[in-house]
Amino acid sequence: MNLLDIIPEEVIYHHVLPNLNLHELLRFRRVCKRTKSLAENFLNQFEHNVELEINETSKPLKSFLQLGLPASHIYLNNTGPDIFQEIEIAKFLDLYGNSITHLRVHKFFTFLEYHEFLFYQGLTNLHHLEFEEIDATSRNCFNSPDRQKSPFPPNFRNIKSLKIGMVHRSASYDTGYAWDLIEFCNKLESVSHPLYKDVFEGMSIHPDGPFGCVQSMMLQRFYDRPEENNLKYYDLENYEYDVLYPNSIKFLMLCEDCYRFDIRLLNVDAALFRNISPSMRNFFPVVADPVVSLRNVHASVFLMELPNLEKLVISSTLSCSMISQWNKDPKWPKLEILDVTVDSEWLDEMHPFHQGTMDLLEIFFKDVVRLNLTDLRLRFTDFAPGHELPRPKALHVITSCPNLKKLTICKWHGTNKALSKLWSGLTELEEITLESCELLGNVGFVGEDSKDPVFLKLKKLKKLELKNLDEMPKITDTIFRLVLRHMKLTHLILSSECPLDNITAQGIQSLLTGEFASSIEKFPFRDWSLRNMTEEEFHNMEIQFRSYNMV
């Protein structure tokens, strides 16, 4: 009989394995069948769809390969093509070639050499692909039987989602490499508009302008290859509206084709609608129907009913100057997500645009989206140094949104009293994210009565995320002792750029003495630390929480 036969499994699982690093877990797993089972059960508690980053050093990749953990999401953070010649990359393909479904790549070199082609060809189950940059400045410099059959790996035909960022293109190229790739991926359900370095380059790709390529693809798939007509979404996030070359008429033609082929448009810049006038009212449904998400607002947008609009991203800087032109009752029946960036300087009551910004908030929080809004993201820009911080007064109208489920507030400049009143009016909230709110303190969670904290009225709240806690020094142990430990949260996510001075181990450990400990599912001990604890002490506290299956 050895020592492992004597020690109970729960002791090994909760008190031994949490103290082992990756290499030690690997060695422990190889001892016998029992240790292999214990180690694998322990490792399976982690989320395997977390994006693993691979870079030129490949150090994380080496450890990951040794453990043999499941993986499906990869970020290849490369600056050149040499990384594809690394031995670890070949090992990675042997182990994970069939399991990777999501790949994000910093720089794609259009198969500049054979190892790059082999890497992409080895990901046989790839469904989602994103290139942050495409370097198509030189022609491919290798040839092989595989390349002679196809310019791209055959498995690219199975990709369902393709997102393309900046395209660096040689002037000697006659057509856009990015569009050659899009054409090849014949099972695409979602594709983004490639971003070119300047408007002239984007227009020169196709004689019909910047949207000519996607329109040709739609027509070809619908009429010539109907079996390949899978496209459902076209993302215009990368399309930059240009005042000198607005392409509004070209955009209306794109909308007409999307309407005909039942394709939805994402992240449309509202300025593209500027050429629509009331005299074109019969044309409104054709233009409006495909739009699912919108960036910014324009007076012409308020002329139309947008029956499928689900998300709106706006900036007070760009929007409130035309507030007088707006229709105060736009018909957007499906709008659920509102992302607002408020220029903090314009919240100054002495600023000439102050009233416009207040009207902007009133319209969107009260008149437009009051009934349907489920997700609100409110961001304030940094206030100019040397100025007194303003106090937003219009945010009480948020409480008129009875169905709000998710709320994000970034760089809040208001009072804690105003925020505490906000919680009492938003009892349906399920997720809250608070980021870099310098003035936010315990009073914002507790309210006026410490015996009956106002934050506890959020009975349905399941997820709370406090981002950049080092920028919120007024949050202390009090909210953990008086508030959070009494809440039935499933997720508590903390983050900080540097060790925290304002929170202690006692405050964190108080969470184990309330309802929090029985409901929490995820409370990661990464991306934050406490200044008054050594690394070893912090790790021991993590082990203590892990025994409750909450890390």
Distance of alpha carbon 82 from alpha carbon 313, whole angstroms:
39
HSE (CB half, 13 Å, CA atoms) of 544? Answer: 14
Distance of alpha carbon 259 from alpha carbon 265, whole angstroms:
10
Distance of alpha carbon 371 from alpha carbon 369, whole angstroms:
6
User: Nearest-5° angle of CA 319, CA 321, CA 327?
Assistant: 70
pLDDT of residue 387: 43
Given pLDDT bands bounded at 50, 70 and 90, which one contains residue 384?
A: very low
Point out the least confidently predicted range of 27-31, 180-184, 465-469. Answer: 27-31
Fold of 1-45: Monooxygenase (1.20.1280)
Point out the least confidently predicted range of 45-59, 143-157, 453-467. Answer: 45-59
Place of tokens 């791209």: 152
Q: 433-444 pLDDT, tens per residue?
A: 999 998 899 999
pLDDT of residue 120: 94
By the 10 Å C-beta count (0-12 exposed, 13-18 middle, 19+ buried), 508 is classed as buried
Distance of alpha carbon 118 from alpha carbon 495, whole angstroms:
38
Per-residue buried b or exposed e for 424-448, using 16+ beta carbons within 10 Å of the residue's own CB: ebbeebebbbbbbbebbbbbbbbbe
Distance of alpha carbon 364 from alpha carbon 397, whole angstroms:
9
pTM of the model: 0.79
Q: Position 143: which residue type?
A: N
* Beta pairing class for 195-196 and 293-295: unpaired
Percent of the chain with pLDDT over 90: 30
Distance of alpha carbon 376 from alpha carbon 138, whole angstroms:
45
Q: Give Cα separations from 73 to 100, 115, 121 (angstroms).
A: 6, 21, 16
Distance of alpha carbon 46 from alpha carbon 30, whole angstroms:
20
Query: Distance between the two ends of the chain, CA-based, in angstroms?
Result: 33
In this structure, what is the dihedral angle of CA atoms 414, 419, 420, 421, given to the nearest 10 degrees? 110
Query: What is the average pLDDT across 166-170?
Result: 78
Tokens of 479: 């909210």
Task: Report the candidate in 293, 314, 292, 300 with the shortest Cα–Cα distance to residue 272.
Answer: 300
pLDDT of residue 353: 43
pLDDT of residue 125: 93
CB atoms within 10 A of CB 539: 14
Query: What is the average pLDDT across 364-381?
Result: 72
HSE (CB half, 13 Å, CA atoms) of 161? Answer: 10
Q: Which residues contact 437 (CB under 8 A, 6 or more apart)?
A: 409, 410, 411, 412, 471, 472
